[in-house]
Amino acid sequence: MRLFGVRKSALLVAVFVLTTLAGGGASTARRTLPNPVLVFAGYEFNESGGKQWTRYRYTVDNRAEYPDSLFAAAPSLPPCGSNTNASRTWVDIYDQSGKRLNGFCALKGAKDLTQLWFALERDAVPPSWVYVEMTDRQTNTKYKSNLADLTL
């Protein structure tokens, strides 16, 4: 009798698991987005405020995989400074130790992921590696990129 009870319990568990996997959540599942693939795009020199700067430019190579809706204006979310129409997703650049170097809170679409940068005074030693973190403020989802170096 005991063996029959164990088999019956195992069968019920298997049916429950298969039912859950087959139909559970299929209609509410969000599209899973990849992590950004960050690539160094070059550098440029400029002067601002009487100082010499080097601007390090980066692009997200797989930007086409992100819907523009991710960067839509989100006035219902907290503002970015005085910008009450900041984008839904903010992008921050960090060095390899986690120090924030720059941030972008008003990107208009995935195409703007080609315009990421941070600047350092011309004589400052740049970090060896940087990464970006994209934060979808509507869903509280973070997408962290690879570590990208400073070589083309």
What domains appear along the chain, each with residue ranges and CATH number?
A: 38-144 (2.60.40)
Q: Which of 136, 145, 148 is nearest to 67 (CA)?
A: 136
Q: Please give the span between the terminal C-alpha atoms of the chain, in angstroms, as a whole number.
A: 71
Report the amino acid identity of residue 39: V
Structure tokens given for 94: 């960090």
126-144: average pLDDT: 97
- Read off the pLDDT of residues 9-68 as tens digits, 9 standing for 90 and up: 444 444 343 344 444 444 344 678 999 999 999 999 999 999 999 999 999 999 999 999
How sure is the predictor about 111, in pLDDT bands with cuts at 50, 70 and 90? very high
- pTM equals 0.79
State the Cα–Cα distance between residues 77 and 87, nearest whole angstrom. Answer: 9
Is-contact 34 62, C-beta < 8 A? yes
pLDDT digits (tens, 9 = 90+) for 59-99: 999 999 999 999 999 999 999 999 999 999 999 999 999 99
The Cα 73–Cα 107 span in angstroms is: 9
Residue 57's H or E segment, with its range, is strand 51-60
> In terms of Cα–Cα distance, which of 40, 34, 32, 55 is closest to 121?
55
Specify whether the CB–CB gap between 5 and 12 falls below 8 A: no
Q: What pLDDT is recorded for position 151? A: 83
CB 70 within 8 A of CB 88: yes
Give the integer Cα–Cα distance in Å for 61 and 80.
26
- The Cβ of residue 133 has, within 10 Å, a number of other Cβ atoms equal to 18
